[in-house]
Amino acid sequence: SNLDYSTVFQVARGDNPDAQKLQILKEADAKLTQIIDYIDGATSEKPTFATDADITIVREARNIALSYGLKPMMWSDMFFRISNHGEYYGRTVNLPQELIDGVPDVSLVYWDYYHTKKADYRAMMKAHQRFGKDIWFAGGIWSWMGFTPSNRYSLQTMKPALDACKEYGVQNIFFTLWGDNGKECSYFALLPALYYLKRYYEGETNRAVIEKEFKNTRIIAITEPNFGELYSDTSGSDHR
């Protein structure tokens, strides 16, 4: 393939038809991997498509990241899908040792916004531990289902997730608030769920106590009846 690096930026801008995007990105990823292998000494053969300038750019980019104390992270689903017929989640997943050995020295981000049972999160965290890497958990505060927040469903999914994080010693946790489908939902409407989950992780499980604390923080002007209304039942759409 005679892929030009500028083509990747065209994809990012949306200049290419959708049918071309996957193949272009696959080729770009494969080429970048070959360059990194060459830089790291994994192979002595310089990639035929790479100029000295290409290799210098990649090397310098890595050095800049390291100079700022940055450590790369990768969303882990790509590794799971390779050996599980395109599926990510499961209480039993197939992870061949050759796949585990081939994962670079990066932190793995396990993302999950959907499950309501602790057993599902436990199984996935146990599977992630097999890689021997730092594990991050990315949960979801459901902001992508229209104008109303899905705070109630966020709690139904994230409380068992946080329980599993504690059990498996996962301390690096963050929540995504995606803006799909027009970003109609106000982020301020998600504050009750964010505050609730913070206090839940800290050990407070009494909802009445958390609601009272939230009101007293004066983060947002809200009356007691309206607080409960912010726990709407909207849910059901994947974000992948």
Which stretches of the chain score pLDDT less than 70? 1-29, 49-62, 104, 218-240
Q: What is the pLDDT of residue 203?
A: 95
Q: What is the pLDDT of residue 15?
A: 54
Q: Could you give the CA distance from residue 139 to residue 112 in angstroms, rounded to a whole number?
A: 5
Q: Is the sign of the CA dihedral 73, 31, 127, 76 positive or negative?
A: positive
Please give the structure tokens belonging to residue 134: 């730092």
What pLDDT is stored for residue 89 in this prediction?
95
Summarised one tens digit per residue, pLDDT across range 180-235 is 878 899 999 999 999 999 999 999 999 999 989 988 876 554 444 445 555 545 44
pLDDT of residue 32: 72
**CA 36/CA 40 separation, integer angstroms:** 6
Beta-carbon contacts of residue 55 (< 8 Å; ≥ 6 apart) = 35, 38, 39, 46
Taking Cα atoms as reference points, which of 116, 139, 127 lies closest to residue 91? 127
3-state secondary structure (DSSP) of residue 86: coil
**pTM attached to this predicted model:** 0.69
Would you say 149 and 189 are in contact if contact means Cβ atoms under 8 Å apart?
yes
Written as one letter, the residue type at 222 is I
Instruction: Please list, in sequence order, all residues whose beta carbon lies within 8 angstroms of the beta carbon of residue 98, skipping any fewer than 6 positions away.
Output: none
Instruction: Give the pLDDT of residue 9.
Output: 45
User: What pLDDT score was predicted for residue 223?
Assistant: 43
Q: How many whole angstroms separate alpha carbon 147 and alpha carbon 145?
A: 7
